Structure 1
Amino acid sequence: MGTGDGQIHYRDAIALAQVVLFAASFFVGYYFRWTRRICWFTLGGFSLIRCVGAGCMLGTINRDSSGLWAGVFVCESLGVLLLIFALFEMLGRIDKSAHVVPKRIFWIPQILTWIDIGISIGGFVTVTKKEHGRLLPTPWSRAGIAILFLIYLYTLGVWVYFWMQRRRYDAEDYTLAICVGFGLPFLFIRVLYSLIFVITADMMWNAVKGSPTAYLLMTMLPEMAFVAVCCFAVLKTPPGTVEASSAKYQLQGEGQTWPAVRR
């Protein structure tokens, strides 16, 4: 894969499928924005990141460039938090009408995310100074994935509590809660893929140079299934249920705050 020989290999075929499928979900996200539905930024932004990463991978077919590989590496390192944000946005939509939890419940992931961002910056600086083994896990990357896994467990716990309180909300919100529950196992598989790599340092589990089959089964397919579940959930939620302020929804680090999800 990506040897600059002009041949399409297994991993390149996966990247081609990603471009097609995530381009479609990107336009679905734009449709959500146009119809003022929830999750337009999270799903659209995630789809765009995956399209760019897959495009860089396809670029390595004819050009074995370090710049293209860097693009693949950066894009593969991003995006998972957006999927978690999508779940919290749906839970926030439920809480808007049912008032299941206090506002501070939605603030805790924000704090953890800022810590994770700081660790990611430190890890990036460390990797750029390494001459060899740049794709191997570092203490920084291990700490970052540990925090990501912690955020996942927190999300799971919040959903369990929401599910226990399902009698408090209506049929539309009930559908959202079910879809969040369906999405969590796919997200677990995706997080587990990264967790295995940082624990074992086995390049088989590396998203850039690792096994294409492992990447297909534990990254691409779970991510596509997760996006499909979220799109179904949002389409089942009537448009116009979120105030215009939701149009200002932005990724953490670009001005977004979790309380905005609940407005």
Structure 2
Amino acid sequence: MGNGDGQIHYRDGIALAQVILFATSTLVALKLRWTGRMCWFTIGGFSIIRTVGAGCMLGTINKDSMGLWAGVFVCEGLGILMLIFALWEMMGRINSTVPTVHKRIFQVPQILTYIDIGVSIAGFITVSKKKHDQLLPTPWSRAGIAILFLIYLYTVGVWAYFWFQRHRYDQDSTRLAMCVGACMPLMLIRVTYSLIFIATANMMWNAVKGSPTAYLLMTMIPEVIMVGLCCFTVWNTLPAIEMQKQAKYQRAEEEGQSLGELPR
């Protein structure tokens, strides 16, 4: 990989592919924003973080700079929570159309995320003060990944409840539930990659200077597929206003109420 020698290595090729793919998904996120669709912020935020991180990686081809490596390290540690929140946003849209769980259910991952962010900041400060082995796991990084895994497990459990209630959903809500379910095993692969490194401290599983093949198969490909699934699903889902109107009409029909009697 890049070490300032001017040579393009395997890991640099992966970074180049990331720049192209995630720059594209950033444009798609902007299109979602312009058309009033959901998840534009979470998908766009994740895509920007990955594009910047990959750009820093490409920068190390000609310059072996600690600043660039720090950029890669920070961006690799960030982002995945944005994808998880995209899935929660989809479940939130379902819940606003067909009330399925109490709103407080959605507050739990937010609280855990704030804790995770605090742990990540403390971990970054600790690592920045180390003179050696800066990429090896620390108690802070272990705590951060443990919280991330807890958020993932909680997300799976809530999605499972939503899935068992799918007979109540319309076509758009069912499509959103299917997208979240399809992302669950991909998210597990991505989180497992980080867990392996934290548990073993084996540099092969390090996202910055580890095995490019392991990174490709367990980080880049799952993330690209998840972003693609989310973009495709959201693009084929009605904007919030239209979705709420459709749900209102559907409830009226079920109650035998004429459309003319509905409030505007």
Deviations 1:87-118 (CA, angstroms, capped at 9, x unpaired): 00000000001000000000000111111111
CA distance in 2, matches of 1:182, 1:49: 23
Q: Max radius of gyration: which structure?
A: 2
CA distance in 1, matches of 2:77, 2:38: 24
Contact 2:25 2:44 in 1 (8 A): yes
Which residue number in structure 2 is paired with residue 227 of structure 1? 227
Which residue number in structure 2 is paired with residue 110 of structure 1? 110
Q: Which runs of 5+ in 1 are unaligned?
A: 244-263
1:212 CA displacement: 0.2
CA distance in 1, matches of 2:226, 2:82: 12
Which residue number in structure 1 is paired with residue 257 of structure 2? none
Which residue number in structure 1 is paired with residue 259 of structure 2? none
Residues 1:183 and 2:183 are matched in the alignment: yes
* Length, aligned pairs only: 243
Which residue number in structure 2 is paired with residue 84 of structure 1? 84
Percent identity for Structure 1 against Structure 2: 70
Letter in 2 for 1:9: H
CA distance in 2, matches of 1:200, 1:241: 48
Which is worse superposed, 230-239 or 27-36? Answer: 230-239
Letter in 1 for 2:127: V
CA distance in 2, matches of 1:134, 1:3: 17
Which residue number in structure 2 is paired with residue 72 of structure 1? 72
1:242 CA displacement: 7.8
Residues 1:167 and 2:163 are matched in the alignment: no
**Pairwise mapping of residues 1-263 of structure 1 onto structure 2 (< 5 A)?**
1-241=1-241
CA distance in 1, matches of 2:93, 2:189: 25
CA distance in 1, matches of 2:242, 2:44: 17
Q: Which runs of 5+ in 2 are unaligned?
A: 244-264
Contact 1:120 1:141 in 2 (8 A): yes
1:8 CA displacement: 0.5
| Runs of 4+ more than 2 Å apart | 239-243
Contact 1:100 1:165 in 2 (8 A): yes
Contact 1:25 1:47 in 2 (8 A): yes
CA distance in 1, matches of 2:178, 2:206: 32
Q: What secondary structure does 1:107 align onto?
A: helix
Letter in 2 for 1:201: A
Contact 1:38 1:242 in 2 (8 A): no
CA distance in 2, matches of 1:125, 1:66: 15
CA distance in 2, matches of 1:61, 1:242: 48
CA distance in 2, matches of 1:4, 1:65: 8
Contact 1:56 1:68 in 2 (8 A): yes
1:241 CA displacement: 3.3
Deviations 1:142-188 (CA, angstroms, capped at 9, x unpaired): 01000000000000000000001111111110011011100111111
CA distance in 2, matches of 1:118, 1:5: 37
CA distance in 2, matches of 1:62, 1:113: 36
Judged with a 3 Å threshold, the aligned counterparts in structure 2 of structure 1 residues 238 and 182 are, in CA distance, closer, same or farther, namely same
Q: What secondary structure does 2:241 align onto?
A: coil
CA distance in 2, matches of 1:62, 1:119: 33
Letter in 2 for 1:112: L
Deviations 1:114-139 (CA, angstroms, capped at 9, x unpaired): 11111111111111111110000001
CA distance in 2, matches of 1:167, 1:136: 47
Contact 1:112 1:147 in 2 (8 A): yes
CA RMSD, Structure 1 to Structure 2 (Å):
1.1
TM-score, normalised with respect to structure 1 = 0.91
